[in-house]
């Protein structure tokens, strides 16, 4: 495979670069501190180079498998990817411009070609003469909510993948005004955000593909009361004449225990859905950080409904099966109840900068689950290595039992500059 060979060559060059940098690293004087190199510049940027190689095993028992591999039966696929994200900021006296994007090259043993993609995730201009208040215009990712894997109150953004909550997402074109009055009586700090998000054929059209024209208004009120953060969210869709709302909170109950929650009422095509989340983050005496979240979403299917969909894909006529498959693929969340548990152990056996973690994402309705084991190691400044193993399990006609992916082994190397 020529594309894969080229990608492997790149991986070797990357490895040589790492070893040379490690060998020739200089040991500066312990207390030397050249501050001047850190003074602010008009243009600043940061980037990363990530090379990832993965081996995936397909689930041949999945009802989705015949649709993916109608002619050529495949059990495994090897992928290699090179990813270069870039964050850049221009800061003039009166305004700022932010650009965030990503360039990716992917080669796969399934195809002869190398796929190249470039995504502009955020691009916005910010009026800074009003500091600490601001007005922003452009492509922006709002990231509303307090949850780690799920965000019920994320009413004006593309949905997050709970399997990879920190994955980069694309923003939406909008105008945003932020007012930070600071302290008001009874509240330690507070802020107010007003958002205008237009939907037209050329603007945010892919966000709401079923709408030709819409004007969406959003309001966020944030406050800190004692040791608890509160946010209230309100969105109004002018053409549909629909109003959604939600709230969230987060609080430190002790020096090693954090609790957070979200609730939202989301209307879609006259159906009112409620979404809620409750989560904790707990640090034990032996340095294990537990992140646990429970999520309920009435827009998901019940167990009987999802079972029916999988059975239709498997047994019904081609047309009915395709319809069911499209319905499944367009569903943002399959079931109504999920749980997310992540245990991360800091530097076990005195192995500094080594962090193993285990993540369990479970569909509580059909008892299927997705387990991700990760070993993270960052031995040298700006370099990190991640080895991960993902295993999906479940009975027939369950979400993770019917997933096309059976398991995945991935090695990722990252260099920041």
Out of 111, 382, 389, 395, the only residue in the binding site for another protein (CB under 8 A) is 382
Q: Does 206 bind another protein (CB under 8 A)?
A: no
- Using the contact rule CB under 8 A, the part of the chain among 23-31, 51-59, 236-244, 323-331 near another protein is 23-31
Q: CA nearest 90: which of 118, 124, 121, 119?
A: 124
Rounded to whole angstroms, the Cα distance separating 247 from 142 reads 15
Interhelix angle 303-315/318-330, nearest 10 degrees = 140
- Using the contact rule CB under 8 A, the part of the chain among 58-66, 133-141, 209-217, 316-324 near another protein is 133-141
Please report how close the Cβ of residue 239 comes to another protein at its closest, in angstroms. 29
Rounded to whole angstroms, the Cα distance separating 412 from 417 reads 17
Q: CA nearest 156: which of 176, 127, 178, 129?
A: 176
Rounded to whole angstroms, the Cα distance separating 347 from 371 reads 21
Rounded to the nearest angstrom, the gap between the alpha carbon of residue 158 and the centroid of all alpha carbons in its chain is: 10
Is the separation of the CB atoms in 13 and 55 below 8 Å? no
Q: Does 283 bind another protein (CB under 8 A)?
A: yes
Rounded to whole angstroms, the Cα distance separating 311 from 76 reads 25
Q: Tokens 């002790």 belong to which residue?
A: 254
Nearer to another protein, 40 or 319 (CB): 40
Rounded to whole angstroms, the Cα distance separating 101 from 414 reads 17
Neighbours of 308 (CB within 10 A): 14
Nearer to another protein, 146 or 296 (CB): 146
Out of 7, 250, 334, 361, the only residue in the binding site for another protein (CB under 8 A) is 250
Out of 132, 159, 305, 315, the only residue in the binding site for another protein (CB under 8 A) is 132
Q: Does 164 bind another protein (CB under 8 A)?
A: no
Rounded to whole angstroms, the Cα distance separating 393 from 372 reads 11
Please report how close the Cβ of residue 384 comes to another protein at its closest, in angstroms. 7
Out of 4, 175, 177, 229, the only residue in the binding site for another protein (CB under 8 A) is 229
Q: Does 43 bind another protein (CB under 8 A)?
A: no
Q: Does 384 bind another protein (CB under 8 A)?
A: yes
Q: Does 412 bind another protein (CB under 8 A)?
A: no
Q: Does 33 bind another protein (CB under 8 A)?
A: yes
Nearer to another protein, 4 or 378 (CB): 378
Contacts with another protein, 305-344, as mask; x by CB under 8 A: ----------------------------------------
Neighbours of 328 (CB within 10 A): 19
Please report how close the Cβ of residue 283 comes to another protein at its closest, in angstroms. 6
Burial class (CB in 10 A: 0-12, 13-18, 19+), 290: middle
Cα 128-131-132 angle, rounded to 5 deg: 140
Nearer to another protein, 248 or 402 (CB): 248
Q: Does 350 bind another protein (CB under 8 A)?
A: yes
- Using the contact rule CB under 8 A, the part of the chain among 131-139, 199-207, 367-375, 387-395 near another protein is 131-139
Nearer to another protein, 177 or 403 (CB): 177
Q: Tokens 């152990």 belong to which residue?
A: 345
Q: Does 70 bind another protein (CB under 8 A)?
A: no
Nearer to another protein, 276 or 416 (CB): 416
Q: Tokens 């989705």 belong to which residue?
A: 64
Decide the pairing of beta strands 242-254 and 228-237: antiparallel
Please report how close the Cβ of residue 224 comes to another protein at its closest, in angstroms. 7
> In sequence order, what E strands does 213-270 have?
214-225, 228-237, 242-254, 257-268
Beta-bridge partners for 348: none
Rounded to whole angstroms, the Cα distance separating 272 from 64 reads 30
Instruction: Give phi and psi for 191, each to the nearest 5.
Output: -155, 160
Q: Does 170 bind another protein (CB under 8 A)?
A: no
Q: Does 227 bind another protein (CB under 8 A)?
A: yes
* C-alpha dist (Å) from residue 209 to 52, 200, 302, 384: 32, 10, 26, 39
Nearer to another protein, 154 or 313 (CB): 154
Q: Which residues bind another protein (CB under 8 A)?
A: 27, 30-31, 33, 35, 38-40, 44, 46, 48, 87, 89, 91, 96, 128, 131-134, 141, 143-146, 148, 166, 168, 178, 180-183, 188-191, 193, 222, 224, 227, 229, 250-252, 254-258, 260, 281, 283, 289, 346-347, 350, 352-353, 378, 381-382, 384, 414, 416-417
């Amino acid at each position: 495979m020529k594309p894969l060979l080229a990608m492997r060559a790149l991986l070797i060059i990357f490895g040589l670069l790492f070893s040379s940098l490690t060998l020739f690293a200089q040991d500066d004087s312990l207390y030397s501190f050249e501050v001047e190199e850190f003074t602010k510049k008009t243009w600043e940027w940061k980037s990363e180079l990530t090379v990832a190689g993965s081996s995936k095993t397909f689930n041949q028992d999945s009802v989705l498998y015949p649709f993916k591999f109608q002619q050529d039966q495949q059990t495994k696929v090897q992928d290699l990817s090179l990813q270069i994200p870039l964050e850049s900021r221009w800061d003039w006296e009166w305004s700022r411009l932010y650009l965030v994007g990503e360039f990716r090259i992917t080669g796969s043993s399934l195809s002869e070609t190398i796929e190249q993609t470039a995504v502009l995730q955020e691009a916005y201009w910010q009026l800074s003469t009003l500091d600490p208040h601001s007005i922003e215009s452009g492509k922006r990712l709002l990231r509303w909510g307090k949850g780690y894997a799920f965000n019920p109150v994320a009413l004006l953004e593309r949905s997050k993948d709970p399997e990879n909550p920190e994955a980069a997402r694309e923003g939406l074109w909008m105008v945003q005004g932020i007012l930070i009055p600071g302290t008001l009586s009874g509240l330690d700090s507070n802020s107010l955000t007003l958002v205008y998000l237009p939907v037209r054929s050329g603007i945010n059209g892919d966000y709401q593909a079923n709408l030709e024209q819409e004007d969406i208004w959003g309001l966020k009120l944030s406050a800190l009361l004692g040791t608890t953060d509160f946010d209230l969210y309100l969105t109004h869709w002018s053409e549909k004449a629909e109003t959604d709302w939600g709230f969230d909170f987060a609080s430190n109950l002790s020096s090693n225990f954090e609790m957070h929650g979200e609730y939202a009422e989301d209307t879609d095509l006259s159906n009112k859905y409620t979404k809620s989340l409750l989560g904790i983050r707990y640090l034990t005496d032996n340095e294990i950080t537990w992140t646990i979240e429970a999520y309920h979403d009435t827009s998901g299917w019940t167990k009987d409904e999802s079972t029916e969909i999988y059975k239709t894909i498997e047994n019904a006529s081609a047309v009915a099966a395709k319809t069911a498959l499209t319905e499944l693929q367009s569903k943002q969340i399959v079931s109504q109840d999920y749980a997310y548990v992540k245990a991360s152990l800091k530097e076990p056996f005195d192995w500094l900068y080594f962090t193993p973690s285990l993540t369990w994402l479970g569909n509580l309705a059909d008892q299927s689950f997705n387990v991700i084991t990760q070993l993270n190691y960052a031995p040298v400044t700006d370099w990190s290595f991640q080895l991960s193993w993902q295993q999906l399990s479940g009975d027939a006609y369950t979400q993770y039992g019917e997933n096309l992916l059976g398991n995945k082994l991935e090695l990722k190397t990252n260099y920041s500059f």
